[in-house]
Structure 1
Amino acid sequence: MKSHKLKMLFSLVLVLGLIITVAECQRNESRAPFALVAKHAREKDFASEPSSGSVDADEAIDKPISAQISERKLIARISLTLEVEKIKDPVIKAEGIAKEFGGYVSDSRIYQEETSESATLVLMIPIQNLDRALAKLRELGKVRYEQKTTEDVTRQFIDSQARIKNLQREEEALARLLERSGKLADILEVERELARVRTEIDQIQGELRFLEHQTSYSTLTLNLSTKPLPPQYEAGSLKNSFIRAWRAFRATLHGLVVLAIYALFFVPLIIVLIAIIYFIIKLLKRLIRGKRAS
């Protein structure tokens, strides 16, 4: 009888332990961290798709070189300096050339000086029309300086696109996780992570839009300047020289007269002042001698 009771008690303990274990497993499964779920989703996507930055070797060989170059993302900057006869007409024509080839004027400044004029224009020209626009701009004057620089941002462009794809996968995984029912703390944590991912996606997309604009339009800085004018001599310059000399003589004579008037006024005062000082010094000497004699 006693052995039967012990067996019943042992069986009851085993059943209770099994129930507690199953309940704990279910609770842990319902509270699985969102980071592990998102990580699993990302690893699954990475395993199923090739890397966005890799290129198949056969595809690269089959593509012509011109096609490979056209796929590169380049930022082109050109500086062109022209000497022109006048400023106004070339400025108007340069603005017209930019619009003709689908571009626009980003900045325009004109400077006026005594002997010359100059202007600086920043033109944004579509990259595919750059050579034709540049050829027309050279016709506006005499080329004094020209420089071309390019910056290859292909790697940056590809990396940004890959980051966006990865973040979008993470966003989808978090969105699926958010649809499941769970505790309020877990839901809030998933929402915070989802907001962070979406903010990062928006930021990278903004950088991509900026890069796309920079690579679609070339920046062309056009400097225009006129040749400095030589000194201009008027007709009858000899006569004008005599007139200027006479005016200078009169001005000098007027200055001397004014100086003489000041001298006539101040010289007597200076003489009187010197005489007073002289008599004071002479009187002091006599007093000193009288004291020594006594």
Structure 2
Amino acid sequence: MTISIAQKLPRQSALLMSALLGGMIVSSCAAAPKNLANQSLPPGVSENQAAISADAAANVTANPEAASVPRNRPQLIKKAAMTLVVDSVDKSIDAVTKIISKQQGDLINLNENQPTSSNSRHTASIQLRIPQNLLEPTIEELAKLGTVENRNITAEDVGSQLVDFQARLNNLRRTEANLQKIMDRAGSVRDILTVSKELSNVRQTIEQIDAQLKSLQNQVAYSTITLNLEATISSNSPQRAVGSQVYETWNNSTQSLSNFTVGLLKLGIWLIVYSPYMLIVAAGFYGLRRWRLNHLSRLNQSSESVNSQ
């Protein structure tokens, strides 16, 4: 039986595709650590994804220098907090703005609270971000604005996280390149769709890890300072002038007289309103008193007549 050339080409393309995928999976699994081969696949992970992960592990094993990123110094995320007591919060805010501009930093947040009473303080909270190498000089400049109540600096080493993210990016980019080669050689639509799906997942993971890596690098490059400003309150209040005291006394006395007059007017209005009831009560007391007087008079007359007889 003879086979035409049109029938041979699809079979050769399918055989080539199968050979490439099989060779990639076999080589990746052979280079991966043995403990990875013994683990079961997590739910929702396909065999192709497992093969890609094994290929990434093989790249790390075959190229150990790719998994390490040289570090000249510790990769630290530094944060500082400081509380200052200043003579004027408004002037201090202007001075802080100038310091931020001088140190090539950014003002992230400003929250100012005006005093609501004579005993409350004028306060402000400022959050700024500056280059890490200028953190100590900036703190020294800010300390000159007033009296330092408290100051602290914290540092977190994220060097291992940066190394891990960079290594994962390198491995994923190699996997992306291998998948791209397989996709270029794929013949059937089904094979192209399968490889395209895996390639999309790898690229999405690359974008996520790259964003996390850049965020960490930005936090390392720039330090955050939280500055709290508090206005001073003088313990010795200045003596007020005599004229001011006399004026205040006059106002208080006139206010007291006004309140007393208003109170008398209110009392008069109450008496007028309840006057009918008061008249009835007064009439009752008057009638009772007259009756008692008349009764006593009669008793006295009776006793006098008896004595005369």
TM-score (norm 1): 0.71
How far the C-alpha of 1:45 sits from its partner, in A, is 2.4
Structure 2 CA distance for partners of 1:36 and 1:143, relative to 1, 3 Å: closer
Mapped partners of 2:166, 2:224: distance in 1: 24
> Who is 2:85 aligned against?
83
Contact 2:85–2:230 (Cα < 8 Å) also in 1? yes
Does the CA contact (< 8 Å) of 1:111 and 1:119 recur in 2? yes
Q: Which residue matches 1:187?
A: 192
CA distance in 2, matches of 1:126, 1:175: 40
Residue correspondence of structure 1 range 211-222 to structure 2 within 5 A: 211-222=216-227
Distance 1:53 1:256 in 2: 90
What SS does structure 1 have at the residue aligned with 2:64?
A: coil
Letter in 2 for 1:95: T
CA distance in 2, matches of 1:191, 1:274: 106
The equivalent residue for 2:35 is: none
Q: State the match for 1:173 in structure 2.
A: 178
| Matched residue, 1:244 | 251
Q: Distance in 1 between matches of 2:64 and 2:20?
A: 32
Tell me the equivalent position of 1:29. 19
- Sort the Cα spacing of 1:262 and 1:44 in 2 relative to 1 into closer, same or farther, 3 A: same
Give runs of aligned pairs for residues 1-294 of structure 1, distance below 5 A.
Answer: 26=15, 29=19, 32=22, 38=52, 41-42=55-56, 44-50=58-64, 52=66, 71-113=73-115, 114-115=117-118, 116-229=121-234, 231=237, 233-236=239-242, 237-271=244-278
What CA deviation, in whole Å up to 9, does each residue of 1:136-190 have, x standing for no partner? Answer: 1111111111111112211211111111111111111110110113321221111
Q: CA deviation at 1:129?
A: 1.2
Deviation at 1:221, TM superposition (A): 0.8
Distance 2:148 2:20 in 1: 74
Distance in 1 of aligned mates of 2:66 and 2:123: 49
Identify unmatched segments of 5+ residues in structure 2: 1-10, 23-46, 283-309
Alpha-carbon separation, structure 2, partners of 1:118 and 1:174: 59
The size of the alignment, in residue pairs, is 244
Could you list the per-position Cα deviations for residues 28-58 of structure 1 after superposition, in whole angstroms to 9, with x for gaps in the alignment?
5377485587467535523431065559xxx
Distance between the aligned counterparts of 1:156 and 1:224, measured in 2?
A: 35
Q: Which runs of 5+ in 1 are unaligned?
A: 1-21, 60-67, 276-294
Deviates more, 1:123-132 or 1:224-233: 224-233
Amino acid of the residue matched to residue 205 of structure 1?
Answer: D
Q: 1:227: how far off? A: 0.9
Question: 174-183 vs 101-110, which deviates more?
Answer: 101-110
Instruction: Tell me the distance in 2 between the aligned counterparts of 1:179 and 1:264.
Output: 107
C-alpha displacement at 1:101, in angstroms? Answer: 2.0
